[in-house]
Amino acid sequence: MNTFRPRLIAVDMDGTILNSSSELSARTRNALRSAISSGITVVTATGRMYPSALPVIREVGIIAPCIFYNGAVVRDPLSGKTIHERGVGRELTAEVLSFYRQQGWYIQVYSDDRLYVTDSSDPRSRFYENISKIRPVSVGEKFWDLDVDSTKLLGIALEEDDFRLMAERTVSRFGGRIYTATSWGAFVEMTHPDVNKAKGLAIVAERLGIDRCDVLAIGDGSNDREMIGWAGYGVAMGNSPTDVRAAADETTLDNDSDGAAVIVERYL
């Protein structure tokens, strides 16, 4: 560990560099800015949509391509140019929507950097809006017949038992036809099966000419597990579940204790 010096640091946002109030602390912001100033490339790897992540990216001062929608999109935050994109596909999007409708579950659709819901006043929609600061497009019952290639789909259940059932049945129903990850103890995130943050980070690293052994990755959720395992050195947050910690080389403090900053400061 003493000899490791990252050339690229990839950080998740929610639960990692953002605290439980979805805010970037001064310490974490300054650590990331200092890393950039010292010549280390910093990127975000988030499940968030591009417009939702951009304010944090700008606050930190990140200029390198970043990973959005759990790896479905890699985009340059300065030019807005898309480097990589992989959608779920129209047919599978429609199939997922039909399944969730039959189950009576809540789901929302991301397509072309827009967020579609049935009713923006739904408590689950409002819960997500409070986190993402993105106002969804409310389309009523037409939602269930959306003919779009979704970038990501997100099921939300605010009760723990409902959430676990949703996650289990989604995996059981679609298996390897869709990539599924969970976050916030309420979200079931669905993308194309070839999509995850590790693959997105590999695209960024290759574009920058950086070997994976020189990459540090920090995250907290099941959607960070592949990225943490792929990187030369992977760090799990103290608020991570057991399976994410198992994939990591080290576990740091939780996101309300600036755990990500503790790790980044080590290399300044």
Tracing tokens 């017949």 back to the chain, one arrives at 145
Sign of CA dihedral 33, 56, 24, 230: negative
CB 247 within 8 A of CB 263: no
Q: In which band, very low, low, confident or very high, does the pLDDT at 132 lie, cut at 50, 70 and 90?
A: very high
Mean pLDDT of 138-142: 97
Phi/psi at 155 (5° precision): -90, 140
Section 65-89 average pLDDT: 97
Decide if 66 contacts 53 (C-beta within 8 A).
yes
Question: What percent of the chain clears pLDDT 70, i.e. is strictly above it?
Answer: 99
Q: What is the DSSP letter of 207?
A: H
Domains of the chain by start residue, with CATH: 8-85+195-265 (3.40.50.1000), 90-191 (3.30.1240.10)
Q: 130 and 92 in contact (C-beta within 8 Å)?
A: no
Query: Would you say residue 1 has pLDDT above 70?
Result: no
Please determine, for residue 77, whether its predicted confidence score (pLDDT) is greater than 80: yes
| Mean pLDDT in residue range 178-196 | 94
Q: What angle do CA 47, 168, 198 make, to 5 degrees?
A: 30
Q: How far apart are CA 85 and CA 244, in angstroms?
A: 25
Average pLDDT over every residue of 97-125: 97
pLDDT at 145: 96
d(CA 69, CA 14): 13
pLDDT band at 2 (very low <50, low <70, confident <90, very high): low
What's this model's pTM, rounded to 2 decimal places?
0.94
What integer best gives the mean pLDDT of the chain? 96
pLDDT band at 3 (very low <50, low <70, confident <90, very high): confident
Higher pLDDT, 2 or 83: 83
Q: Is the pLDDT of residue 72 over 70?
A: yes
Q: What is the pLDDT of residues 219-256, one digit of tens each?
A: 999 999 999 999 999 999 999 999 999 999 999 999 99
pLDDT attached to residue 206: 98
Q: What is the mean pLDDT of residues 19-30?
A: 97
Quick one: average pLDDT of 4-32? 97
| One-character DSSP codes across 114-170 | EEEES-TTSHHHHHHHHHH----EE-GGGGGG-----SEEEEE-SSHHHHHHHHHHH
User: Please, which pLDDT band fits residue 30 given cuts at 50, 70 and 90?
Assistant: very high
